[in-house]
């Protein structure tokens, strides 16, 4: 039995698919006119934020993914969510940056409400 043509990895499919998926759902969330924690908006925002993950899983299942990275969707999920793939030094940098930006966003939010931090 002859095998079909080998599918090559398509990074442009991932880029444009992720942009389309994410901005369609975030755009729909924006035009609802509701608060960001109200029912339809929070679901649409959640769907939009999972765009890169969902598009990657679709491309893996269609065969448009680099097989040297992941042979299956399960292998991709294991590689993506394994906390031991980054070094301890990089994890520390990420942690301290998140603390810094958390404080910055908190003071910005208080400033917008008219409260001086």
Q: What is the mean predicted confidence (pLDDT) over 81-104?
A: 84
Q: Please state the pTM of the whole predicted model.
A: 0.68
**pLDDT at res. 36:** 78
- Token reading at 108: 């910005």
- Residue 114 clears pLDDT 80, i.e. is over it: no
Contact 58, 17 (CB under 8 A): yes
- Helices 39-49, 11-31: crossing angle, 10 deg rounding: 170
Provide the residue ranges of all domains of the chain, joining segments of one domain with +.
Answer: 1-83, 86-117
- Residue 1 clears pLDDT 50, i.e. is over it: no
**pLDDT at res. 51:** 92
**pLDDT at res. 104:** 56
**How far is Cα 15 from Cα 11, in angstroms, rounded to an integer?**
6
**How far is Cα 57 from Cα 61, in angstroms, rounded to an integer?**
6
**How far is Cα 18 from Cα 56, in angstroms, rounded to an integer?**
8
Q: What is the mean predicted confidence (pLDDT) over 47-74?
A: 91
CA angle, 58 then 80 then 70, to 5°: 60
């Amino acid at each position: 039995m002859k095998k079909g043509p080998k599918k090559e990895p398509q990074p442009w499919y991932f880029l444009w698919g992720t942009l389309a998926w994410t901005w369609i759902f975030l755009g729909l969330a924006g035009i609802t006119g509701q608060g960001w924690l109200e029912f339809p908006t929070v679901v649409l925002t959640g769907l939009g934020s999972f765009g890169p993950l969902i598009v990657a899983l679709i491309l893996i299942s269609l065969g448009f993914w680099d097989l040297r990275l992941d042979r299956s969707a399960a292998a991709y999920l294991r590689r993506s969510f394994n906390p031991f793939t980054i070094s301890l030094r990089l994890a520390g940098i990420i942690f301290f940056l998140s603390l810094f930006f958390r404080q910055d966003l908190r003071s910005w939010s208080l400033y917008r409400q008219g409260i001086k931090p």
